[in-house]
Structures are given as structure tokens and as C-alpha cells.
Chain A
Amino acid sequence: MSEGGVDSGGTGPTAKAPDLSGATLKQALIKLGPLIGLVFVWLLFWSQLGDRFANTAAQTEILRQATIIGIAALGATIIIIAGGIDLSVGSTIAMVSMVVAKLLRDTQMDPTLAVILGLLAAAVCGFAIGSMVVGHVGRVVAVAVGLLAALVWLPQQGMAMGFTIPIGIAIAAGLWLLAGLTIRDLKLAPFIVTLGMMGIIRGLAKMVNIYGNDQPSTQVSPGRETWIDQINAFQTDGPFSFILAYFPISVLLFVGLSVAMALMLRFTKFGRHIYAIGSNEETARLCGVNIARTKILIYTLGIALAGVSGVILMAKIGQGNATEAVGYELAVIAAVVIGGASLSGGAGSILGTVIGALIMQVVIFGCGKMQMDSYIQEIITGAIIVAAVALDQLRHRRAT
């Protein structure tokens, strides 16, 4: 490693250090890389589109469009830093939009409560995924089967809720015990678990509308106007319009959550643990970090953030839609990687992710304004993802 450096026994910690300026310059470049990328991409489209791109309306539109992927990417950031991955993000976003819309349409509940329940649904998915990743597959399956029995299968056979719920609990308890005796500590790779959940959650999203309905469909209109519809809109009058005309609530939420997550990662024990688990899980275990509990928390929080994106999606398209957000996970992961995270864990930052999301959005928007066919846009987006990962490899190789 340090050839040419001599271990002179103990004459001060910084004596005779080799070329320092080179090392810190490289480190600075690594940190600034995503920002340079953003500036580059921005200038590129400006050169092609001029004022059609550089005007206020376009810039604020880019910000607004970036929020759905962006907020989900915040959640994906902590999952990826910890060495995991979540491929089911898109499905979760769609599912939450369905849940909120359906609650609004079929009940009279307060829209705020509907939003909270939607986020809770996402958090439960995250909790399930996290549990499966740390080895509690059997228990998750037990609970899922019990729930399905209580809420779907048995009612469909005509049984009353008063009976289905205790029976569902009994089934879940029985399977839980069975799982405890047979499948112990079966850890599943996050890639595989979330790949499966991608389909499962998508199916659940479509199932949401079956419940208590004769005509199931993959779209649900909320049926009433609520404050939710306003969060993605530019508000030109009313209070705070001097901000909201340019930065809708969704954008402010994106900024707020980014700051909160960044502070959490940097200044809390939990944040340090996330980096430690991603960098070397064995070391974290040796240092007394509760790996299982921390990982479950990471997935729960990360995917709950995808739930926020789901609510914003519902506001944006005015309905819950189980067929939307397909493939969003790729854009989310791309944003995180462009921002400097390593897919093997231990590196990454919120700021980087935000810049990564902006880069993706500038490209998508710019291509749209240039009236490129959507297939060219897809190719470009894919190429950016490949370039980002290549850059990531170069960065992490040169850094040491």
C-alpha cells in the first residue's frame, strides 16, 4: 500500500506523509462529480434549446417532475448505502396511489387519515421486505397468509368478519410456530426478495379495488376533491403563492425530506450504523450494532418514503392507478448511483442522490422538449445509467 513510506516508530502522526495534495484533490473531484455532471447536462440542453429550456417555467417544471422519483430515491439511498437494494419501488408507488384513492372514494374518512394509511401500507411492505432479508421469511409468510385469509378468502366464501378475523389470527399463529420450528434464519438476498415483491405488490395494488366492489378495475378515482390534489400544483393565488407559484408543496416536501434524511445520515447513530452495515456488516456486528433490527428499520423507512411518492403520484394524475410507475425502480437506482453511491454498500449521500435525480429529470425533460421520440429517450436514459455505473467504478477504484 504505502510503498516508500517508512514506519519510523512513533514520531508524530503526520510526519513525512507522502503527496497529500493529490489525494485530497481526487477526493474533492469524487464529491463534485455528480454536480459537474448536472452542470454539463444542463449546459448541453441549453445549447440545444436556448430559451425554451432556460426559462423559469421549464426549470420549475423540471423540479416538480423530479419529486416522485426523487423522494423514492431518498429512501432507496439509505437502502443502497446499507448494502441492499429495492426493486419493488415502482409497484409500491402505484399501490399507495390505489390505497389512498380507494379510501377517499369508498369511505368518508379525513383525507389526512387516508394519506397516513397509505404511508402505513408502504411501511408495512418495507417491514415485510426487511424481515425477509434478515431471515424471518417464515414469519412474514405466516402473517401474510393469516391476513389474506381473514380479509379476502374467507369473506369471499361468505363468512362474516367477526369470524374471519379470529380464524385468520389462528392461522397466522399456527404457521408462525411452524416456521419457527422448521425454517430458521433463512436470509434472502434483497435483490431476489424485492424482485418477487415487485410482482406481489403490483398484484396487491390491483387487488385493492376488488375489495367491496362489483366492478374491479386498475384505476380508482377518489371521487372528491381534497387538499391532496393541490400538492402537485403551482398555486398562483392564495397564501404563500409567492413560493408555491414556483415550488409546489411536493417540491418543498422533497427539499424538506432531503434535508431531514441528510441530517439523519450524518448526525445520528442510526445513520452511522447504516454506513457501517454497508461498509462491513461483520465489523458492525462486532461493534454491537443490532444488524437485524437496523436493517428492518432501514427498509421500513426507505419504502415508506416511496409511499410519499405514491401520494404525490395520485395528486399528479388525479386517480389511483395500479398500472403506473412501471420501471420507476430503475430511475430511482440510477439517481442514487449517479449521486455517488456504490451498489456494494458503504458509500453514497443524499445530496448526490438529489443531484442524480435532477440529472435524470433534466435529460427526460430536455429530450421531451426536443421532441425526441420516446424510444430515443429510453435509450439515452439507459445509456446514462450505464455511464453512471462506469463512472462509479472508476471513482471507487481511484479513491484508494
Chain B
Amino acid sequence: MRGVKKAFGPTIALGGVDLEVAPGEVHALIGENGAGKSTLMKALAGAHAPDTGEMLLDGEAYAPYSPAAGRDAGVAMIYQELSLAPELTVAENIFLGIEPSVGPFLKLGEMRRRSKEALAQIGMDDLDPATVVGTLSNAQQQLVEIARALIFDCRLLVLDEPTSSLTAKDIEKLFRLIRTLKARGISIIYISHFLEEIDAITDRFTVLRDGQTVGRGVTAETPTDRIIAMMVGRDVKDLYPRGPRKVGDVVLEVTDLAGKGGLPERSSLMLRRGEVLGIAGLMGAGRTEMARCIFGLDAVKAGTVKVGGNLFAPRPDRGWQRGVGYLSEDRKNEGLAVGLSIADNTTLAKLGGLGPAGLVTPGNQARACRPWIEKIPIKCFSAHAPVSSLSGGNQQKVAIARLLHADCDVLILDEPTRGIDVGSKAQIYKLIDELARGNAEKGIAPKAVLMISSYLPELLGACDRIQVMCRGALGPSRKTEETDKHQIMLEATGAA
């Protein structure tokens, strides 16, 4: 792609992008949200036509007028939101839109046979094509999408944030598949926020910023910090700021917590004011389940929770009253009501004191959340704007603002920086540090932060102590400076 430009009205999404991918190469496309990655890929796939610039596929001019045309030319896109029909079977999904048929009748036998071939190519020979897609795991559904791309004889496969909902094991499987496809000469464009993965699987990379290509290089020869600096356009020396923190009294004490659903099995932790405790572990280990049990969203089988020294019977409304707040890992489906306004979402957990006689006025709601819009800060038109109009990073900041409005002393953050751009991540790390330290001029008292994360650099950078969850059991607490990536992974996989 050379000099590709695309504008939407007055907004210039792409201001001249160059991208070059060699055959059989895994090429990373890196950039913050809003940098132009999606627009560029949509131009590539045929969903938008670029205003100027040219695209060459295998040396020949390539100008798809529709996604179907792009598919026929051999360019397949796998989006972050999987585009499968959950009620249909694997075979039906693979052939959706291009079903082999005799007149109006489907050639079921051929569909089944060719599905099985495609699945075998990606290492899923044991999956019956008659399985209903909705019953498969996220990872399996993603592989079905890739199988669908392969049916089309694709030469270029674009993966948009493929790992955001995969376990480490699934990611390994995906990487093995990518290497297989690479060996067959298929080129892959890999879009991801996780620089660790980019390090692991990609050959070269291109960095976009503000709709332009700002950097290219060979992945193995470029240190991560350089890539981040290119993404953000400034030197990111302190991605994880750590001011002086004074550790105070115990505000949250969890003893032998076991959940009715099986996870967690046995978890104990102690959280003090002024510190950040990180909870590491593989996906499915039970970290989110533990947080939900502590907060009262899921039923507790055994164990106790104490807040501020007093026994706490977990229930969400009691939690908010006692100063415990919960940030869900699933921002879209649980953390935020995207149809409602910023003010509504921020104040929903504590609607008291926003009007006379127990009433709630929208004016007061907006007034209550404006300080947080300024302090965090959140980029938005007004406090009444719907949350759906914000970028992912700003949406997450609204969810965090809810905990601040409710004046929480204990903040339980589950994957607070998942799926958001590096710039917003940096702001959230800064915010977490501020919350732990306290900030007298902004009027923030020091708080206790419990941070669940699957991203090890973030845990090592932002937390004072780390505990590792493995199969429902929470390991002992270790000071961050006394542990490292290797140690954490050992504990997470149960090999320690």
C-alpha cells in the first residue's frame, strides 16, 4: 500500500500511509486507537475505497469495491468481534454466503467434506463440522473464522486483536497455526496492543500514528520502548510511575474464600491502604471469580471478608456503601451501560446526595462527575454524552470514575487496561499510582488497590506486591522487587 489517503468529511483518517508486507511474512501493524489501523485495514479488505494512493497485491493493482471482492482476491479479515452466527453449525458458518448448491438445495455432503479439510489444515481435525458454533469457546470460534478464510484461498490474512479473549494455551495454538500458514506462503498482518506477542510472532512491523506511517522495522532488532515511543510520539520513560507510597492500615482482609461455583477454591489476601496488590495468573485460574465473590456478585461457599476490620457480608450495594468498588473486566457487557450518559454511569453506584429529598437531578449528576472528567482526565464533549461515543480508553476511565465518585477506599480493578490504547494505559497507570499515593492538591486520599491483570509487565511495573492464582488457589504474597516474570509464570502454571 502506497500513499493511501482517506478522509471522512473533515476528519482525515489516513494521511498517506505506506505499508509493505512480504510473502510468507507475519507483519505487525501497531498504533494507538485512532491512529488509523482500522481504516487502513478496511481499505485493504474492500469495505472503504481510499481517496488516493494505490494498493498492489503480488505486484498487480488491487482495488476491491466490496469486502466480497477483497475476499475473492485473497484478502481475508478476521475482526476482533467474531462475525459468526452462533446458532448455525461450523460447516454452515464456514460456507455462509457461498454455500455449494444444486439449484436451491444445499450440497451438504460437500460442505461437510470441505469443512473437515479446512479444519484439518488449521489443526482442528477433531472438531465435528456439525457442531453448533455457539457452544464453542472463543478460541475455537476464532479458528473457525480462520478456517472460513482459508476456504477462499487467501494470500493475505489480517488478524485484528486476535488474542484479547484467549488463554495462554490458546494463544500458543494460534501462534503455531500462524507459523504453519506462514510456511505455506500466506502473509499475515497482525494487529495487537500486546507488544509481547508482537515480539514473539512477528517478523517486521509498521507503526501508525495520526493516520501516517511513523516507523518501520524488524521486530527482533527493535526494543519495545522504541516501539512505544513511536506509537505515542514521545519518550515513554516512565510508563509505570511510582511515587512515594506510605502503607497504612489493613482495609481489606480475605480469609480462605471459596466460591459456590468451584472457583476460587481457597484464597486469602490482605490489602493495606496506600498499596497496590497485583493478582497474576492464567485465564481461568479463578481471579475474576475471586473478585466477584469478594464483591458479592457471585455466591460464597466458605471463607470471610473483612472491610476495615469489620466483617463484610458480600453484596454489591453493601460493598459500595462500605467503600469497596469493583471494576469489571467485561467493560461492554457488565462494566458500563453504553446507551446511558457518562453522568449516569459514573453516579449509578451512589445516587444519594444528588438532589433534595432523595431526588436525583441530571444537573447534579453532571456536576458530580465533572471533577473526575477533569482529574483523570476523560476526553468527552459533555457529561451527558452517551458512553458509546467515547473511545475504549475513555470508556474505561468512566468506569474508574464510578469508583472515585462513590468515594471507595478499596478499588478492585479487574483487567483495568485490557483492550485500550497505550496512551490511555499510561494515564491509568498514572492514576493508579496517584490513588495509592494520595494526592493532597487534588483532594484524593490514599487508597488500596487490588489489580487483576494478565499482562505481566503491567503487574511488575505498577504493583507493590503480587500474588499468583493457580487453579483456584491464591499463592503467597511477594514483594514486586523480589519476584520476576519467570517466577510468576512458574507459580501460575503450578510448577513452582
Binding site for B on A (CB under 8 A): 1-10, 12-15, 17-20, 23, 266-269, 271-272, 275-276, 279-280, 282-290, 346-347, 399-400
What chain B residues lie within 8 Å of A272 (beta carbons)? 344, 348, 351, 360
Checking B32, B336, B382 against A283 with a beta-carbon cut-off of 8 angstroms, the contacting residue is B336
- With A4-B12, A272-B344, A272-B351 known as contacts, the answer to whether A280 contacts B360 (CB < 8 A) is no
What chain B residues lie within 8 Å of A271 (beta carbons)? 360
What chain A residues lie within 8 Å of B362 (beta carbons)? 266
B471 interface contact, C-beta 8 A: no
B381 touches A20 (CB 8 A): yes
Supplied contacts A279-B337, A346-B337, 12 more A-B pairs, CB within 8 Å:
A3-B34, A5-B391, A7-B379, A9-B423, A269-B360, A272-B351, A279-B340, A280-B337, A286-B316, A287-B348, A288-B349, A346-B340
B421 touches A7 (CB 8 A): yes
Q: How near does chain A come to B157, taking the closest CB pair, in angstroms?
A: 23
What chain A residues lie within 8 Å of B355 (beta carbons)? 267
Q: How near does chain A come to B133, taking the closest CB pair, in angstroms?
A: 23
A268 touches B359 (CB 8 A): yes
A12 touches B297 (CB 8 A): no
B103 interface contact, C-beta 8 A: no
- With A5-B34, A7-B393 known as contacts, the answer to whether A284 contacts B348 (CB < 8 A) is yes
Chain A interface, DSSP helix/strand/loop, else mixed: loop
- With A17-B381, A275-B340 known as contacts, the answer to whether A280 contacts B317 (CB < 8 A) is no
Checking B13, B373, B402 against A287 with a beta-carbon cut-off of 8 angstroms, the contacting residue is B402
What chain B residues lie within 8 Å of A2 (beta carbons)? 33-34, 389-391
A7 touches B351 (CB 8 A): no
When each residue 262-301 of chain B gets 1 if its CB lies under 8 Å from chain A and 0 otherwise, what string results? 0000000000000000000000000000000000010000
Residue in B closest to A400 when the chains form the complex, CB atoms: B388
Q: How near does chain B come to A113, taking the closest CB pair, in angstroms?
A: 31
B374 touches A280 (CB 8 A): no
B297 touches A285 (CB 8 A): yes
Instruction: Pick the 7 closest A-B CB pairs, nearest first.
Output: A288-B317, A4-B11, A280-B337, A279-B337, A287-B349, A282-B334, A288-B316
What chain B residues lie within 8 Å of A290 (beta carbons)? 317
Residue in A closest to B328 when the chains form the complex, CB atoms: A286
When each residue 1-16 of chain B gets 1 if its CB lies under 8 Å from chain A and 0 otherwise, what string results? 0000000111111000
- With A9-B427, A266-B362, A269-B351 known as contacts, the answer to whether A3 contacts B13 (CB < 8 A) is yes
What chain B residues lie within 8 Å of A276 (beta carbons)? 337, 340, 344, 348
Tell me the B1-49 residues at the A interface (CB within 8 Å).
8-13, 32-34, 36, 38-39
A13 touches B336 (CB 8 A): no
What chain A residues lie within 8 Å of B352 (beta carbons)? 269
Q: Which of B320, B321, B348, B377 has the most CB of A within 10 A?
A: B348
Residue in B closest to A12 when the chains form the complex, CB atoms: B377
Name 6 interchain pairs, CB-CB below 8 A, sorted by A: A7-B34, A7-B421, A7-B423, A20-B381, A290-B317, A400-B388
Q: Which of A18, A23, A272, A283 has the most CB of B within 10 A?
A: A283
Compute how far the CA of A7 lies from the CA of B389 in the bound complex, rounded to whole angstroms: 14
B210 touches A6 (CB 8 A): yes
A13 touches B361 (CB 8 A): no
- With A7-B379, A286-B326, A346-B340 known as contacts, the answer to whether A269 contacts B8 (CB < 8 A) is no
Residue in A closest to B336 when the chains form the complex, CB atoms: A283
A18 touches B11 (CB 8 A): yes
Q: How near does chain B come to A135, taking the closest CB pair, in angstroms?
A: 15
B426 interface contact, C-beta 8 A: yes
B339 touches A346 (CB 8 A): yes
Q: Which of A8, A12, A286 has the most CB of B within 10 A?
A: A286
- With A14-B380, A267-B359 known as contacts, the answer to whether A280 contacts B333 (CB < 8 A) is yes
B9 touches A19 (CB 8 A): yes
B319 interface contact, C-beta 8 A: yes
Q: Which of B12, B338, B379 has the most CB of A within 10 A?
A: B379
B144 interface contact, C-beta 8 A: no
Residue in B closest to A1 when the chains form the complex, CB atoms: B391
Compute how far the CA of A96 lies from the CA of B13 in the bound complex, rounded to whole angstroms: 61
